[in-house]
């Protein structure tokens, strides 16, 4: 991450330079170097201090949501190593946490939109494949505008022959049988009416002759 990279850069690139400047008591150069370290995005507070003195302090010390690193500032001359001061660097995590929350809400919103679109798609498919055909069947059952039998139903083109298609097919066959039965009844009724009429005519003729 950027945080780890910046802190490693402080340790690898700046720590030795700070120690060298402090060893020769070049406070002006030390301040320039510290200001350069403060330009790193993840460095929000920097302090160089001994037990008795704060030599340089840049930024405001952070008390919460913080990552802190401390390094001893040493300088070696020959075989001797001198402890000069301690370098403290802090990184404010509040901006990191805020960025994480923003990413979380963005992902949450994105997933919610995806789920909503999926639900709309499922409802549309359900309406097209189930609700609409059943409404057509219901309307056909109560439609007697074509006679004493209900109307047949024609479903919109479907992707496959499923249970709804089978139901519509059986319904249309039933309607056809009802119509055929009614046609047979009407034919028999017509025959009966013709026979009755001929019978009446015959009786009338016989009565007249008698």
Q: What predicted TM-score, i.e. pTM, was given to this entire model?
A: 0.53
Asked if residue 150 lies in contact with residue 142, where contact means CB atoms within 8 angstroms, the answer is yes
pLDDT digits (tens, 9 = 90+) for 64-102: 889 999 999 999 998 899 999 999 999 999 888 888 899
- Going from the C-alpha of 16 to that of each of 10, 68, 183, the distances in angstroms are 9, 19, 108
**Residues 75 and 118 both lie in one domain:** no
pLDDT digits (tens, 9 = 90+) for 17-75: 999 999 999 999 999 999 999 999 999 999 999 999 999 999 999 988 899 999 999 99
pLDDT at 70: 95
- Name the more confident of 185 and 45: 45
pLDDT tier at 153, thresholds 50, 70, 90: confident
- Determine the 3-state secondary structure of 83 from DSSP: strand
| pLDDT score of 210 more than 70 | no
- Name the more confident of 186 and 26: 26
Which of 50, 72, 92 is the last residue before a domain boundary? 92
Q: Which domain holds residue 70?
A: 2-92
pLDDT at 146: 67
Which of 56, 71, 92 is the last residue before a domain boundary? 92
93-115 mean pLDDT:
91
Asked if residue 36 lies in contact with residue 14, where contact means CB atoms within 8 angstroms, the answer is yes
Domain count for the chain: 2
Please report whether residue 210 resides in a domain.
Answer: no
Of 75, 85, 13, nearest to 47 by C-alpha is: 85
pLDDT at 100: 87
Please report whether residue 145 resides in a domain.
Answer: yes
């Amino acid at each position: 991450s950027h945080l780890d990279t910046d802190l490693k850069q402080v340790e690898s690139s700046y720590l030795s330079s700070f120690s060298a400047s402090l060893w020769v008591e070049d406070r002006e150069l030390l301040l320039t170097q510290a200001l350069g370290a403060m330009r790193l995005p993840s460095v929000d507070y920097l302090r160089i201090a001994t037990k008795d003195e704060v030599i340089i302090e840049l930024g405001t010390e952070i008390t919460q949501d913080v990552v802190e690193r401390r390094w001893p500032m040493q300088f070696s001359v020959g075989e001797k190593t001198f402890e000069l001061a301690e370098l403290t660097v802090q990184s404010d995590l509040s901006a990191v946490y805020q960025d994480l929350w923003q990413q979380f809400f963005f992902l949450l919103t994105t997933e919610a939109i995806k789920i909503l679109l999926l639900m709309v798609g499922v409802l549309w498919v359900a309406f097209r494949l189930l609700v609409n055909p059943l409404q057509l069947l219901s309307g056909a059952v109560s439609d007697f505008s074509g006679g004493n039998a209900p109307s047949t139903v024609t479903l919109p083109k479907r992707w496959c022959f499923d249970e709804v298609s089978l139901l519509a097919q059986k319904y249309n066959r039933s309607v056809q049988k009802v119509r055929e039965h009614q046609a047979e009844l009407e034919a028999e009724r017509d025959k009966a009416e013709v026979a009755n009429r001929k019978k009446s005519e015959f009786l009338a003729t016989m009565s007249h002759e008698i």
